[in-house]
Amino acid sequence: MIPASQTASSSTIRHASGADLLVECLVRNGVEVVFAYPGGASMPIHQALTRWEHKIRTILPRHEQGGGFMAEGYARSTGRVGVCIATSGPGATNFVTCLADAKMDSVPLVAITGQVPTPVIGTDAFQETPIVEICRSITKHHYLVTRTEDIPRVVKEAFYVTSTGRPGPVLIDLPKDVQNRCITADLDPPINLPGYRPHRRAKREELLKVMELIRQSRKPIIYAGGGIVHANAGHLLKAFAEKTCIPVALTLMGLGSFPSSHYLCLQMLGMHGTVYANYAINEADLLLALGVRFDDRVTGKVSEFCKHGKIVHIDIDPAELNKCKPALLPIAGDISLALQDMLELVEQGAHLDPGESPGGKHADWLRQIEYWRETEPLSYRDRNDAILAQYAIERLWHIIRDRGQLKDTIITTGVGQHQMWAAQYYRFETPRTWFTSGGLGAMGFGLPAAIGAKAACPDKTVIDIDGDGSFLMNIQELATAYVEKLPVKVLLLNNQHLGMVVQWEDRFYQSNRAHTYLGAGPDEDPYPDFVKLAQGFRCGARSVQEKADLDEAIEEMLDSTGPYVLEVMVPYQEHVLPMIPSGHTVRDIIKA
């Protein structure tokens, strides 16, 4: 049961249209920004938004997918619910990728779609699509509202469901006649969701078993994921790792939840993770999996993953427990509360034998990991005749670090090689400074997500590290950035190819090129001209090819007062390494 007053106060009673009720309910749920693209079936909502401009900022994307990704960037940067609005038919279906992305990466998102009037639903009316049915399996919950009276309850439920338990997207489909109808309604109705119990706390006896497994272990490792970020538990993870002297390997979505510079941090594990993180997982006798889902890009051949170790899996979503990898001790619980409770047990010494210290107990294990770290570091063969993408990302990180701005800079990415290189060579120190499409791998995510993050965090520098393929998928959102005065920066690593697909062609398809070249021809200049495109959107832009020009160009980008695209021409022959081929094991790791 959700706590709510059973008697409506006079301040919550309103006589208004459904559209006005919707917008006021958004205000009552703390919404300050919406990303909304109008159309016939959502016009009443937009008219209502103009009457609430003093409370809600409406940002107009140039494509509904851009708006959905902006709402994700807003949510990921704040932990608050992101809201996006579109019309029916194609407007609604343009949200499908965003909803699937939010579902995979556990992002609190409320997507509101206009729908054709209720009398013509099911008749193939103009711009009608059954968006609830289309999105049933890629949303946490969904509503088709057929009564204006239900709007306050539905909005209240939607915000509760999306932001509690494991976060995820909720869809509200609102027919036009329901928006237009005027009624008197209670804006704060009591609601009851008897089948939804999102608040889970691990039992003390379960956590005592975790302490016993730690006590028995000599080679433990923590495998931490995006659940740490969503639970705002980064500080608890750090305290727990330090007090137990257990090293931490991070998933792609977990980057930033544990400081990259910390001596216990093994950086990212998995397909393109560090060699030493993957070696450590392979040799560990105890794996503490915290807020993760054993994604195939982490595990490789799942039966061989951590084959020698006992597994403890703690996650807020019981559906993830034993889904991919059986755990000796599966625990359904809020990871923040679990870490709080485990820290209390650690303070009591429940994880140690009498007279034992964590540092002494794990000394040999930590020395072994340090040996791997020193002998198998992340590295690349730099070139004097070209700027490598890895080098450009490293220089960006160094310059931002030297400016003392790491904690005040947010990085987003598209999907591809640049995404993995950013994860490897840009070192994240704090949570909610790294946003990427991890589970779905949606190209076109980087720029709109950066715009959403900048709208949420105007005092932070927001940089989209992107590739030419991904950038082109939502390049129109440069218009949004300029018009809305959201000065995001784009570090565009242009290799004229779909780089990750080219890498797989080289490794597994005898280098046969199958439609992965994005240029105009071998004798043509780089295509398209991204500098002119950016300037056409009235954004700052520059292209560099020489290493000697790179640092000064990065400084110029960072100092620019408006949106800025810095194109860096990079070779397409580079591969993201190390690499564990899909479905393989750490024994098959490719290092060169």
Residues marked as catalytic: 64, 126-127, 176, 500
The residue behind tokens 């608890």 is: 236
Q: Which long-range contacts (CB under 8 A, 24 or more apart) does 122-126 make?
A: 126/40, 126/89
Cβ of 364: how many Cβ atoms within 10 Å? 11
Task: Tell me the CA distances in angstroms from 322 to 41, 272, 314, 525, one per residue in order.
Answer: 43, 24, 11, 52
Say how far apart CA 56 and CA 101 lie, in whole Å.
25
Say how far apart CA 40 and CA 517 lie, in whole Å.
39
Kindly state the tokens that stand for 424: 């490897």
Say how far apart CA 523 and CA 544 lie, in whole Å.
19
Kindly state the tokens that stand for 126: 């103009």
| Strands in 123-258 per DSSP E | 141-144, 169-175, 182-186, 220-224, 248-250
Fill in the amino acid letter for 473. Answer: M
| Parallel, antiparallel or unpaired: strands 182-186 and 13-17 | antiparallel
Task: Tell me the CA distances in angstroms from 559 to 125, 541, 554, 573, one per residue in order.
Answer: 51, 12, 9, 32
The residue behind tokens 């209240």 is: 156
Say how far apart CA 541 and CA 533 lie, in whole Å.
9
The residue behind tokens 């000065």 is: 487
Where is 35: in which H helix or E strand?
strand 33-36
Return the closest-CA partner of residue 510 out of 521, 518, 502. Answer: 502
Say how far apart CA 159 and CA 169 lie, in whole Å.
10
Task: Tell me the CA distances in angstroms from 248 to 186, 240, 260, one per residue in order.
Answer: 49, 10, 10
The residue behind tokens 């359904």 is: 332
Where is 199: in which H helix or E strand?
none
Fill in the amino acid letter for 444. Answer: G
Q: Which long-range contacts (CB under 8 A, 24 or more apart) does 90-93 make?
A: 90/127, 90/129, 91/37, 91/39, 91/41, 91/42, 91/64, 91/127, 92/64, 92/129, 92/131, 92/134, 92/173, 93/129, 93/131, 93/134
Strands ordered across the beta sheet of 409-413? 434-435, 409-413, 461-467, 489-494, 564-569, 540-544
Q: Let me know: does 253 contact 231? Beta carbons within 8 Å.
A: no
Return the closest-CA partner of residue 401 out of 433, 426, 435, 436. Answer: 426
Query: 201-230 in b/e burial notation, b at 16+ Cβ within 10 A?
Result: ebeeebbeebbebbeebebbbbbbbbbbbb
The residue behind tokens 């090819």 is: 545
The residue behind tokens 């509202």 is: 145
Task: Tell me the CA distances in angstroms from 144 to 151, 281, 456, 577, one per residue in order.
Answer: 10, 46, 29, 47
Kindly state the tokens that stand for 219: 């080679």
| Strands in 325-468 per DSSP E | 329-332, 409-413, 434-435, 461-467
